[in-house]
Homo-oligomer: A and B are copies of this chain.
Amino acid sequence: MATLEFFYDFVSPYSYLASTRVEAVAARAGATVRWRPFVLGGVFKATGNRAQFEIPAKARHMLTDLDRWARRLGVPLRFPTDFPFSPILSLRAALAAEAAGVLVPCTHAVYRARWADGRDIADPAVLTAVLSEAGLDGAALVAAAPNHKEALMKQTQEAIDRGAFGAPLFFVGTEMFVGNDRLDFVEEALRASHPG
């Protein structure tokens, strides 16, 4: 079965959009998703790339573009007033969730809290509540988060080594795709990657 590797950061709104549909994309192509949290800021630092919000004209338009996508996909999106924020705690907690076998519900819960409900997931108390409300052991995951610092750096470095410069980032085998707006190409590649 083909695998859709999905590298994402909670600070990235286009990764949030992608998170709402990667499972459907993979299912249509008979593939599975491998969820891989990583640090977009680390990718920017390593490559010299910059976040869209650092260019004022780009930042203004990004809000319009995100709104268009959210309407098309039928998902709620509320741009944070406290942007950018640190996603590091939540990304480490996601790796703790992976170790506990609950990465996917953790990812959806954090994205929804941040990008739909406007909650400050950088705050340990808020993150704990968000995860607990999703039926996970929020206290345990947040407590375990620091143990996954190295793994998060390693996963980020792997993405950089494979050519990353932004997010969301997808791989189908060695083929790389960048951006929520490339998921149609990703789906084609998944279909082409397995016979029949």
Closest Cβ–Cβ distance, residue A193 to chain B (whole Å) = 15
**A55 / chain B contacts, CB cutoff of 8 Å:** 47-49, 165
A56 on the interface (CB 8 Å rule)?
Answer: yes
List 3 A-B pairs, minimum CB-CB distance, nearest first. A57-B165, A47-B57, A58-B165
B-contacting residues, A52-84, CB 8 Å: 55-58, 60-61, 64-65, 68, 72
Bound CA span A178–B55, Å: 14
A-B contact pairs, 10 of them (CB 8 A): A48-B55, A48-B56, A49-B58, A50-B50, A57-B163, A57-B164, A58-B166, A60-B163, A61-B165, A181-B181
A176 B61 Cβ-Cβ under 8 A: yes
Query: Within residues 125 to 182 of chain A, which ones have a CB less than 8 A from any CB in chain B?
Result: 163-166, 176, 178-179, 181-182
| A58→B64 contact, CB < 8 A | no
Most buried by B among A49, A164, A179: A49
Question: A residues engaging B (CB < 8 A)?
Answer: 47-50, 55-58, 60-61, 64-65, 68, 72, 163-166, 176, 178-179, 181-182, 185
Closest to A175 in B: B64
Complex contacts, A56 vs chain B, CB 8 Å: 47-48
Q: Nearest CB to that of A68 among chain B residues?
A: B185
Given contacts A61-B163, A65-B178, A72-B185, 11 further A-B contacts (CB under 8 A): A48-B56, A49-B55, A49-B57, A55-B165, A57-B163, A57-B165, A58-B165, A60-B163, A61-B176, A64-B176, A181-B182
Q: Cα distance A12–B33 when bound, in Å?
A: 34
